[in-house]
Structure 1
Amino acid sequence: MSPSDLPLQRANADLAFAPQLGPEAMAAVAASGFRSVINNRPDGEGGPGQPSSESVQAAAEAAGLQYAHLPVLGSMQTPEQARAMAELLASMPKPILAFCRSGARSARLCALASEFTPR
């Protein structure tokens, strides 16, 4: 996969969203200039064909990316999860790429996270 093949939606210079990414995409993510990846999709949500967080993490780290797994349900994001996302967004190297099944959940979580100031 090349950087131009990544299905990105940019929020700003420091943050973008994407639908499900697998291990094979992590080199392209790094080549696109991202320094961190946040996976908001619970393992197994999409069935056995969905890559595990562990496999994506290994590929992300091999590509030189910092990785975090903050799984949230598509139907609901809690204040605790929004606070945890705010802390990740404040502490991880930028730019950051957050992904889930479609990218919408990650975008909603980031919007909720903006209400919290990390400690």
Structure 2
Amino acid sequence: MDIKTITDTYAVSAQIEPNDVQALVDAGFTTVICNRPDSEVPPALQAAEIKAAVEAAGLKFVINPVVHGQLTQDILDIQAREIETATGKCFAYCASGNRS
């Protein structure tokens, strides 16, 4: 996992796996945002699997999928709200990190 820091409280990366969650905990993240639609990934990497690992580690998980070419104001509002209200650092992922 290659975490790219955007601000002091927000970072992004490409798709994560359940075994990456401990590194997020160790890095001080408290919220994980999934910007990747389940249709893009196999079942083992879909939101439910990542959510289970994230919540088991005590972090908040938010599903906010961004489909290529379909970015809406609602998606932007959810992302902004989650970043602003996170109790610590916020981490988001998608296929490459670019949508996040």
Superposition TM-score, scaled by structure 2 size? 0.91
2:31 corresponds to 1:21: no
2:75 corresponds to 1:81: yes
Query: How many residues are matched?
Result: 100
Cα deviations across residues 34-86 of structure 1 (Å, max 9, x unaligned)? 1110010011213x266111110110011121110101112231111111211
Tell me, yes or no, if the aligned pair for 1:66 and 1:93 is still in contact at 8 Å.
Answer: no
Cα deviations across residues 9-39 of structure 1 (Å, max 9, x unaligned)? 1011100010000111111111111111001
Partners of 1:80 and 1:67 lie apart in 2 by 18
Partners of 1:29 and 1:74 lie apart in 2 by 26
Q: Secondary structure at the match of 2:69?
A: coil
2:82 corresponds to 1:95: no
- List aligned pairs for 1:49-88, cutoff 5 A: 51-88=45-82
**Amino acid paired to 1:17:** V
Superposition TM-score, scaled by structure 1 size? 0.77
2:55 corresponds to 1:31: no
Between structures 1 and 2, the one with greater strand share: 2
Tell me, yes or no, if the aligned pair for 2:10 and 2:91 is still in contact at 8 Å.
Answer: yes
Identity of aligned residues (%): 31
Q: Which runs of 4+ in 1 moved over 6 A?
A: none
Higher relative contact order (CA 8 A, sep 6+): 2
